[in-house]
Amino acid sequence: MQVRACQLGADMGDAAARLKAIRWLIVDAASDGADVIVLPELALTGYGAGDAIRDAAETIDGATVSQLRKLADENDIAVVTGIALREGETVINAALIVRPKQAPLVYAKQHLFGPYEKALFSAGNKSCEIFEVGGLKAAALVCFDVEFPERVRELAQAGAQVIFVPTALPAGASGKMVAEYVVPTRAFESQVFIVYVDHVGSDARFVYQGMSCIAAPDGSRIVSAPDNKPQLMSATLDPADFAQSIADNPYLAELALHRRP
């Protein structure tokens, strides 16, 4: 799987400016041969936009998702992005998965972070559907979800080899700990790749950690971004490159052996 992960500046502007930039990023990633492009949490509005996020939330059949589907089809690339979506009377903080010529998939963030998110969104209660992209089985989480080992493990047990994580990790000692150590540990303990993609810089409400990374099953960070500027990261993900780590650390196989009825 060829991945393009985009750490974006938090000061990209309003939704129209963001969609224009994202359109260019999708075309650029596809021209470089990427199978999938991954963008941060709430990339279409910006994480710190407050009530404007709820106001702008569309349904899965709305204009924004339709434009992303058209871009995916035209450029033969999958898009994974954070987005606010309206489901009936509720709004969810979602990972949207758009693949060429296929119906979009939606994962609703289960672990909302703090009063800001809890005032804006309703929490999801289901794991992400496993899907295929670039020859690998994949799934998605959103930001805080990945800090719960249970969320990563259940996806790995369901067959995911890669987990995409749009995030809006806040800057600080805890943020640095999550980006530098927690995410690679989650990859190692479930023997999966994790594509973790943050904003960087600041908006009207928050300052972001940056330090986006692609973590491998052996706990290494294949590529990583700095904490002070936007960065485009590209990587080839192939489980065969980490076959020894998977063999040496058979956590999933051991759990399957000891699964209680």
Using the 8-state DSSP alphabet, how is residue 129 labeled?
P
Q: How far is the C-alpha of 2 from the C-alpha of 139, rounded, in Å?
A: 16
Q: What range defines the domain where residue 114 resides? A: 2-257
**Cα 181 to the center of its chain, rounded Å:** 17
Percent of the chain with pLDDT over 70: 99
Structure-token match 């871009």, residue found: 71
> Which entry of 6, 41, 147, 213 is annotated as an active-site residue?
41
Full DSSP string of 186-255: HHHHHT-EEEEE-EEEE-SS-EEE---EEE-TTS-EEEE--SSS-EEEEEE--GGGGHHHHHH--HHHHH
pLDDT of residue 78: 98
pLDDT of residue 157: 96
**Quick one: tokens of 20?**
């224009």
Is the model's pLDDT at 151 over the cut of 90?
Answer: yes
User: Does 117 participate in catalysis according to the annotation?
Assistant: no
Using one digit for the tens of pLDDT, what is the confidence trace for 220-230? 999 999 999 99
> Which entry of 6, 117, 128, 143 is annotated as an active-site residue?
143
Q: How confident is residue 136, by pLDDT bands cut at 50, 70 and 90?
A: very high
Mean pLDDT, residues 189-200: 98
pLDDT of residue 92: 98
> Which entry of 109, 117, 147, 213 is annotated as an active-site residue?
109
**Cα 207–213–215 angle (5° rounding)?**
140
Nearest to 78 by CA among 102, 48, 54: 102
Is the model's pLDDT at 259 over the cut of 80?
Answer: no
pLDDT of residue 260: 65
**Quick one: tokens of 95?**
């990972």
Using one digit for the tens of pLDDT, what is the confidence trace for 96-118? 999 999 999 999 999 999 999 99
Using one digit for the tens of pLDDT, what is the confidence trace for 52-95? 999 999 999 999 999 999 999 999 999 999 999 999 989 999 99
Q: Supply φ then ψ for residue 25, to 5 degrees.
A: -60, -40
- What is the CATH number for 69? 3.60.110.10
Q: Measured on CA atoms in the order 156, 162, 163, 168, is the torsion positive or negative?
A: positive
Beta pairing partners, 82: 95
Is the model's pLDDT at 261 over the cut of 90?
Answer: no
- Asked if 217 contacts 160 with a C-beta cutoff of 8 angstroms, the reply is no
Is the model's pLDDT at 251 over the cut of 80?
Answer: yes
Count the domains in the chain. Answer: 1
User: Does 87 participate in catalysis according to the annotation?
Assistant: no
Mean pLDDT, residues 33-45: 98
Q: Which residues contact 261 (CB under 8 A, 6 or more apart)?
A: none
User: Does 254 participate in catalysis according to the annotation?
Assistant: no
Using one digit for the tens of pLDDT, what is the confidence trace for 174-192? 999 999 999 999 999 999 9
